[in-house]
Every structure is written in C-alpha cells, then in structure tokens.
Amino acid sequence: MKKHHLRIPGPTEVPERVLRAMQSPMINHRGDEFRSLFRRVSENIKKVFQTKNDVLIFPSAGTGAMEAAIANLFSPGDLIVSFSCGVFGDRFADIAEAFGARVERISVEWGKPVACDIVKERILRDAKGEIKGVLFTHNETSTGVLNDIRALREAMGDHPALVVVDAISSLGAVELKADEWQIDAVVAGSQKALMLPPGLGFVSVSEKAWKAAEQSKMPKYYWDFKKARKTLEKGETPYTPAVSQIFALDEALNLILEEGLENIIARHRLLAAALREGLKHLGFRLFAEDSWASPTVTAVDITDFQGKINFSKALKDRFNITVAGGQEKLKGKIMRIGHVGYVDELDILNVLSALEMVLGEEELFGKGVKAAEKVFKKGEEE
Amino acid sequence: MKKHHLRIPGPTEVPERVLRAMQSPMINHRGDEFRSLFRRVSENIKKVFQTKNDVLIFPSAGTGAMEAAIANLFSPGDLIVSFSCGVFGDRFADIAEAFGARVERISVEWGKPVACDIVKERILRDAKGEIKGVLFTHNETSTGVLNDIRALREAMGDHPALVVVDAISSLGAVELKADEWQIDAVVAGSQKALMLPPGLGFVSVSEKAWKAAEQSKMPKYYWDFKKARKTLEKGETPYTPAVSQIFALDEALNLILEEGLENIIARHRLLAAALREGLKHLGFRLFAEDSWASPTVTAVDITDFQGKINFSKALKDRFNITVAGGQEKLKGKIMRIGHVGYVDELDILNVLSALEMVLGEEELFGKGVKAAEKVFKKGEEE
C-alpha cells in the first residue's frame, strides 16, 4: 500500500475541501443560485489576477484560453512577436500563426529566460509601430524557467503593442500584477496553482485589450469575449458552464483567500528553494540556474544517469510518486518535479527521501533532506 | 497551507477509495442489495480474523464489542482473570466487573508485556477449574506494547477457560490466528488497521464460545450474539446496521485482500522498525523495548523534554501532524505515534523529518531519516 503523490507540474493534487465542493448537487445554470455563485467567483478570481478588469472563465484547457486571447485581440495579418524559451512559448506562437497572424518568433536557448535586452532591441527597431502584439510565457513549464514579466514589460516602454502573457503554470503561485505591470491579457488554467482539476481556462482583459477586441477580425464563436462579458453582467456564461468546476473554484478561492496570496507566493518560493538545495546535495545538476528558476516546477538534469536509473519509473514503483519527464528535445534528459498548488514542506522532504532511496547509496541517505530542512529552518526564522 | 497527517493510533486515515464507497446512496437495510453486501463482508472479514467461525458486526465503538464479548460469554459471579499491562487491559477488567463477574486483576508494569510465566503459574493454581475466562490485550495502545498472544495461549495449556482477546489496535496489522491459536473471542474495531472511520465493532466467536453463550446469564439485548447469528443467516442484522460503514468495510476489505494480509503484516513490522531506528538516532528513548514493541503504535519517552518542547503542539502547529499524548499516569511522559492501517514509508519519513525540525538542532537534520531509510533499504532487499 502506497499513497499516491502527484508531483507533476499540473494537474496538481486537489484539496479535500475542493473535492467535496465538486460533489455539490447539480444546479440550473440559468438560475439565481448559479448566478450568485458565478458572480462571486468572477469577483474573487480578480484578486488572484491582481486586476480590476474582467476575468473571463471558459470551460476549456489552458491552451483554449491561449487561443481565446489570440482570436479576440488580433486580426489576420497582424504582426505578433513571440518570445519563447520552451515548448509552451512555441505553442503560443503556433496558435497565433494558425489564426493568420504574421508571427515573428524570437527564441532563446532552453533552460534560459527571455532577456530584457532582446525585447528592448526588437521594440526599438519598430519605429513604424507595426507590432500589434507581444507574447510572453511567465513560467515555462517545459524547462522550469521563470521569465521576469515585470522587467520584460518595462523593457517595452510605451510601445502600443498588446502584451499577452501565458501565466498558466504561475498565476496564483508567483507574483503577477496584471494591472500594475500593464499586462493586457493574462491567461491561466485551473489545474495548477488554483488547485482545481483541469477544465477551466481564464483570461483577464485590460481596457486596451477590450478596445482591440472591438476591432479584431479573427474568426471566433465559442471564445467570443464580447459575448462572455455581456452574459457575465447577468452572472451567466454564453454557453453551458462547467458547473461542478465552478463549485470547486469557489472553494479553491476560499482556500486561497484564507491563506493569503502573499503567503502562497512565499510558500512556493521556499518550497522551490528547499527542493533545489536538497537536489544539489544529492549530486543532481539542475537544468535552470537559481536566479531564474521556477517556483512551481524544478527541472533536473538526468543525462548522467541515462541507462542507469529511470527516475520516473523508480519513484512511481517504489513510492507511488509521479514526476514528469522532459518534452520534445528534452525527452530523457530531464525529469520535472512539480511543486505547485496544494503542496507543503513535507511533500518536498518526501520527494527528497524517495530520491535518496532510489539513488540507493547509503552515504546519500538523509543528505538531501538535511539540506532542505536547513532551508525551511531559515525560511521559518525570516 | 499544510496537509493533515493523522499519526494517532486510531482513528487512522481513511483511504480515498473507502471514503468514496461511503458516499454510495443509502439503501434499504432489509432489501436484497444490503443482504448480498452484508453476506459478502461477513465472509471476507473472516479472512482477516483467520477464522472459519462467525464474526459478528455491531454498530459500536471497540469498547462496545468488548462489552458484547463479556456479556455474551459469561454469567454474574464467574471468575475471570484479567491480565493487563495498560489502560485498555484495565478497561476490559472494568467491563467484566460492571457486569457482575468476579474479576481477578493481574497487572504488569506499564511498558512491559504480560509474561507467560505469570499466566502459567495462575492457571496451574486453578486445580478446581474455577476460572471461566481469561482476558488478554493483544496490542496495548496506551504503552505501545504487543503481547505474544500465541505464547500466552499456549501457556494456558488445555485449561477450559474461555480466552478473550482485545485485538482492537492490532487485528489486520499484526499476526493473530483466531482458530489456530484457539482464541474463543477476538474483539476488533473499525478505526485501526481496517482503515474505516470509527463506528463498527467486531467479535469472532468460537464453537466453544457459542456453547458458553447458550449458558450466559449476563443481561444483554443490543449485544445479543444469538440474535446476531440468527439474522446473519439471512444476511441481516438484528437492529439497523450502519449502512455507509458497511459500504466502507466492503471496500476496505477489497483493499486488504488486494494487498494481502501477510504483506500488510510485514509492512507494519517494517514501518515500526524504521520509525524506532530513526527515533533512536534522534536521541529519543523508546518506552517499550524492541522485543515487545507494537507494530502499530510507538510510545516515545519525552520526560527529558518536559518544559522545553511540547511535541504534540509543535508537530501540529508546524507540520499539521497529529500525534497522541500519554494516558492516565503516562500523561505528559510519552508521546504516541500511530502507524496503523493506511500508512506507508513516506509517512514514517515525514514524521521523522518533522521531529528533526521540531528538535531544531541542525546536526540532527536528516539523521533520523537516514537511519529509517537504511531500515527500509534492508527491508526491500529481504
């Protein structure tokens, strides 16, 4: 008998309170009970986005919400510059291209973040103001890299392009101030820091983005922001909402507001720091440097162990801990340990103990745990 | 945000599959669906008791099942010898006394088990065969001591007294062969190794015990074994059964039979050994010696820390781990760490990590975990 520990970067574990909320009896999605519920979650979710603007909620995967942002804010032929440092940055560019935008892809080496300089350089070259949109990934889940969105946005100065940020694997776990940092659309999903099962997509829409939405000529029906805003005024959705997920969102937002967004952000930072310190003491090389490492997912270089230890399989078989592998060109080269959402200190110590035993060398036993405990002790004292 | 870890010696954590089973819609307890369910659990539970005889199931606490055994097997004035090494041994004697038995209490020092010699000596003195019953506690939850029931039973030889064993905190986690060892009544509860919420009591009844039940003159109505056996033949219970608990029992028995009783027993032995080794390496003195230590609960001497560290409070506040304190004369002197039922290796490593941090000395960080990991490694290799 081994309890299941889900240490992938999403879907993440769902708190018991949220699971219970999902068992609420089904209600009429065009009735008062739903309207009051939907109004409440639509207000509360704004606190997580740190915005006063509308946040639209769709029954969809995170990728659907990315598509919604593109389809509503741009027109075919628009020049969109995509800054990518991994699989999910590339995906954002693919979506824009599929909808007929003229996409200019600026990619950086995987494992590194997007540098402010290259953003500044590209923006300065746009004397005619041709660029209509800029796409960033906040947290690149495929490489465990966090982009400094605040600095990247500042690097753009007062260029009029819309700034669209994929914050699917960061929002609610990492600082992201949609309004203060002037992000026109922030995209999020339910299955990461929001601690819900997958199935809800979120997009915040700035005033500037609403103006762009008026002009947008990309084809859309399901994702139509204007219809979503119009029905939201009545506390409803254009098409059938995912009712049980909305019950769950309501309870997850209660949990988030009870703990406090600042505390949650600090928790994720501490968990990541302790895990990284523990991993280093076990001799692992980390794929991303400390200064831009993700607070929600840690990519571990496993090339030294190829043909010797299959970590994913060993952690699963021996301890029922599920971690993620590498994607695309990183397949077999990294393992990714998720620590986003419903995760605490003991979860981190667990994964380190389990790795110590999977490595199997007695001189490593307790070594990663010790290093992590020191980080937690320091965190507690601060 | 800290996940809750329940490390008391019961109620224990309830597996997700069992929690889900409890959510089955209510059914008629006098209908075919319930009858087939109740017949199935009444058969499957026999495998855990290692008996071919009936196991009766009552909606009750474990103490209720203890009372049921006394009230059905004896008559007022019967001489019952109670061998006690702690709170729960004493309780068994109290119950027999409350029902008018002549109880002879033989108590041993808390922290030690009942020795075969004192049983043998008392039995040999009973030349006239006056003793009608002997009460043993298999696992004394208050001190973390396991009595060697097989040896104690053997020490009685062919004395005709009924042997009644309180196995509430052991059955399903520690070897106990009701038939082979000739135990006339084994008492169990739902909230320990059976991994259910509290609320069900169990008693196995040997052929000899059924004969005694025919003669018993102690007052009983709710606990009446004969009524229970009669209704069980129809797949029913005399009074309203705890239907949701029976759904849960059905699923818990599935889990137990899937893992296999032998494997479960080995798991508990290994978890206890690893925890004890880890605790010793952190400098703790253990209340019971290794040779008679309980596989389901470990009592830790905390007298050295009085006025310095309140472990229960610190583990709860800092890590949301709930452990138990001492009872009666052991209050404030021991803490008890439960590891019964739905518990795995990472749970043990968790509690050791947490204690390392609560102790707070950096030279202890990772030390208990390391010692426990070594035990697990050895267990894996065997």
- Residue B382 pLDDT > 90, yes or no? no
> A265 and A248 in one domain?
no
Q: What is the mean pLDDT of residues A16-20?
A: 95
Chain B: closest CA distance from residue A111 (Å): 30
Strand partners, B325: B335
Judge whether A149 and A176 are in contact, CB under 8 Å: yes
> B305 and B187 in one domain?
no
B281 near A CB under 8 A: no
Select from B258, B284, B315 the last residue of a domain: B258
Select from B242, B258, B274 the last residue of a domain: B258
Q: Quick: pLDDT tens for A23-53.
A: 998 988 889 999 999 999 999 999 999 999 9
- Residue A230 pLDDT > 90, yes or no? yes
Name residue A35's amino acid: R
Which chain B residues are within 8 Å of A362, Cβ to Cβ?
374, 377
Total-model pTM: 0.90
Read off the CATH number of the domain in which B334 is found.
3.90.1150.10
Strand partners, B58: B201
Per the structure block, which two tokens stand in for B47?
């495998």
CA distance A141 to A149: 15
Name residue A205's amino acid: V
Q: What is the mean pLDDT of residues A138-159?
A: 97
Q: Residue A115: CA atoms inside 13 Å, Cβ hemisphere, count?
A: 7
Which chain B residues are within 8 Å of A366, Cβ to Cβ?
365-371, 373
Report which DSSP code applies to B342. Answer: S
Which chain B residues are within 8 Å of A321, Cβ to Cβ?
346
Q: Give the H/E segment covering residue B297.
A: strand B297-301
- Tell me phi and psi for residue A143, to 5 degrees: -125, -5
> A68 and A126 in one domain?
yes
Q: What is the mean pLDDT of residues A271-293?
A: 98
CA distance B214 to A104: 90
> A274 and A225 in one domain?
no
B369–A377 C-beta distance less than 8 A: no
Whole-number CA gyration radius for chain A: 21
Q: What is the mean pLDDT of residues B215-238?
A: 96
Name residue A216's amino acid: S
Which residue shows structure tokens 């068994």?
Answer: B92
Please confirm whether the linkage preceding B219 is cis (ω < 30° from 0).
no
Q: What are the helix (H) ranges across A260-344?
A: 261-281, 311-319
Per the structure block, which two tokens stand in for B184?
């006339």
Planar angle of CA A311, B259, B275, nearest 5 degrees = 65
Q: Quick: pLDDT tens for B277-324.
A: 999 999 999 999 999 999 999 999 999 999 999 999 999 999 999 999
- Tell me phi and psi for residue B318, to 5 degrees: -85, -35
Per the structure block, which two tokens stand in for B315?
């583990």
CA distance A362 to B238: 57
Name residue A261's amino acid: L
- Residue B259 pLDDT > 90, yes or no? yes
- Residue B381 pLDDT > 90, yes or no? no
B12 near A CB under 8 A: no
Residues 6+ apart with CB under 8 A from A189: A10, A61, A62, A65, A168, A169, A198, A200, A201, A202
Q: Residue A134: CA atoms inside 13 Å, Cβ hemisphere, count?
A: 30
Read off the CATH number of the domain in which A133 is found.
3.40.640.10
Report which DSSP code applies to B11. Answer: S
Strand partners, B107: B84
Instruction: Give which of B278, B253, B265 is closest to B337, Cα–Cα.
Output: B278
Judge whether B320 and B3 are in contact, CB under 8 Å: yes
Select from A228, A243, A258 the last residue of a domain: A258
Name residue B33's amino acid: E
Q: What's the pLDDT at B57?
A: 97
> What's the number of domains chain A is made of?
2
Residues 6+ apart with CB under 8 A from B275: B298, B337, B339, B348, B351, B352, B372
Q: Give the H/E segment covering residue A349.
A: helix A345-359
Report which DSSP code applies to B113. Answer: P
Q: Quick: pLDDT tens for B161-182.
A: 999 999 999 999 999 999 999 9
- Residue B380 pLDDT > 90, yes or no? no
Chain A: closest CA distance from residue B49 (Å): 20
> How distant, in Å, are the alpha carbons of A87, A116, A147 from that of A135?
14, 14, 12
> B187 and B56 in one domain?
yes
Name residue A187's amino acid: V
- Tell me phi and psi for residue A278, to 5 degrees: -60, -45
> A330 and A318 in one domain?
yes
In a 3-state reduction of DSSP, which class is residue B324?
A: strand
A370–B3 C-beta distance less than 8 A: no
- Residue A382 pLDDT > 90, yes or no? no
Q: What is the mean pLDDT of residues A229-241?
A: 95
Q: Is residue A381 very low, low, confident or very high in pLDDT (cuts 50, 70, 90)?
A: confident
Judge whether A365 and B373 are in contact, CB under 8 Å: yes
> B201 and B117 in one domain?
yes
- Tell me phi and psi for residue A74, to 5 degrees: -130, 170
Cβ count within 10 A of residue A317? 12
> A67 and A38 in one domain?
yes
- Residue B210 pLDDT > 90, yes or no? yes
> B266 and B248 in one domain?
no
- Residue B193 pLDDT > 90, yes or no? yes
Instruction: Give which of B86, B100, B146 is closest to B297, Cα–Cα.
Output: B146
Q: What is the mean pLDDT of residues B193-207?
A: 96
A17 near B CB under 8 A: no
A373–B365 C-beta distance less than 8 A: yes
Q: Is residue A296 very low, low, confident or very high in pLDDT (cuts 50, 70, 90)?
A: very high
> B268 and B373 in one domain?
yes
A377–B360 C-beta distance less than 8 A: yes
CA distance A364 to B4: 28
Strand order in the sheet with A285-286: A285-286, A297-301, A334-338, A324-325
> A234 and A202 in one domain?
yes
Nearest CA in chain A to B17: A3
- Residue B1 pLDDT > 90, yes or no? no
Q: Quick: pLDDT tens for A236-261.
A: 999 999 999 999 999 999 999 999 99
Planar angle of CA A345, B319, B377, nearest 5 degrees = 65
Residues 6+ apart with CB under 8 A from A126: A159, A161
Contacting A residues, span 131-190, partner chain B, CB-CB under 8 Å:
none
Q: Quick: pLDDT tens for B132-152.
A: 999 999 999 999 999 999 999
Domain limits at A369?
Answer: 5-10+261-381
Instruction: Give which of B101, B169, B100 is closest to B132, Cα–Cα.
Output: B101
> A307 and A182 in one domain?
no
